[in-house]
Structure 1
Amino acid sequence: MNDMRTRQQTVRDLYAAYLDDRKDIVGAMLTEDFTFSSPRDDHIDRAEYFERCWPKQPLFRRIDIEFLAIDGNEAAVRYRAEKLDGASFGNMESLRFRGGKIASVEVYFGRDL
């Protein structure tokens, strides 16, 4: 499988693992020096990412990828997420790869849908 297809599948697997609350799967996808940024988080490390960004209880009913583009070591993703309470929102994310792993994620919050 070529790098682009592998990276596309890694991105899809990332969101599926988040939905299934599989930190173990995601942990294996991330580099040791992984960073996460969003309007609420400024380049937090992987330990802080798992502490702050993974819900203690299941939160989402579904996450649908609406757009996914790969360009070299970067991916752009637009998705719609639906929470268990019925609320939904859309976000964009930029992911950077190093080797076969995700080195960083930057989230750009969208709007409530």
Structure 2
Amino acid sequence: MTAATREDTVRGLYKAYVEGRKGIVDGTLSEDFTFSSPRDDHIDRNAYFDRCWPEPPFVRGIEIEFLAIDGDEAVVRYRAEKADGTAFRNMEALRFKDGKLVSVEVYFGREVV
């Protein structure tokens, strides 16, 4: 997969999250996908959807401020606007293998204006 294609995939994942389109993301995740954050330690894909995909989505927009891709890894810094109008900034490290997303590690930021 080229860097441009990987970039499109990563941007598409964040867009799908805002739109609440789990099916798009589910098709991108590997069977052994794990998600980690300060609150979650290597949870599997089922727990990821249960914990991280509320309905309706709690964010109404995500602006990718920084995106770096190196082979099968990507680092993303984004600003997310919540449904209540407040915003926060996070960083995430994504790893791919054989065209599928195998892990996401989230590093929480802070509330921003």
Q: Which bin holds the TM-score, normalised by the shorter protein?
A: over 0.9
Q: What's the CA shift string for 1:31-84, capped at 9, x where partnerless?
A: 011000000000000000000110122311210000000011100000000011
1:58 aligned to 2:57? Answer: yes
Residue 84 of structure 2: SS of its match in structure 1? Answer: coil
Structure 1 runs (4+) greater than 2 angstroms displaced: none
Indicate the residue corresponding to 2:24 in structure 1: 25
Indicate the residue corresponding to 1:8 in structure 2: 7
In structure 1, C-alpha distance between the alignment counterparts of 2:84 and 2:91, rounded to whole Å: 22
In structure 2, C-alpha distance between the alignment counterparts of 1:108 and 1:100, rounded to whole Å: 24
Residue 48 of structure 1: SS of its match in structure 2? Answer: helix
Indicate the residue corresponding to 1:80 in structure 2: 79
Superposition TM-score, scaled by structure 2 size: 0.96
User: Is contact 2:67–2:74 with CA below 8 Å preserved after alignment?
Assistant: yes
Superposition TM-score, scaled by structure 1 size: 0.96
In structure 2, C-alpha distance between the alignment counterparts of 1:103 and 1:5, rounded to whole Å: 19
The AA in structure 2 aligned to 1:93 is: E
The aligned length equals 112
In structure 1, C-alpha distance between the alignment counterparts of 2:69 and 2:37, rounded to whole Å: 20
Farther-moved stretch of structure 1 (57-66 vs 39-48): 57-66
The AA in structure 2 aligned to 1:111 is: R
* Unmatched tracts of structure 2, length 5 or more: none
Structure that is richer in strand per residue: 1
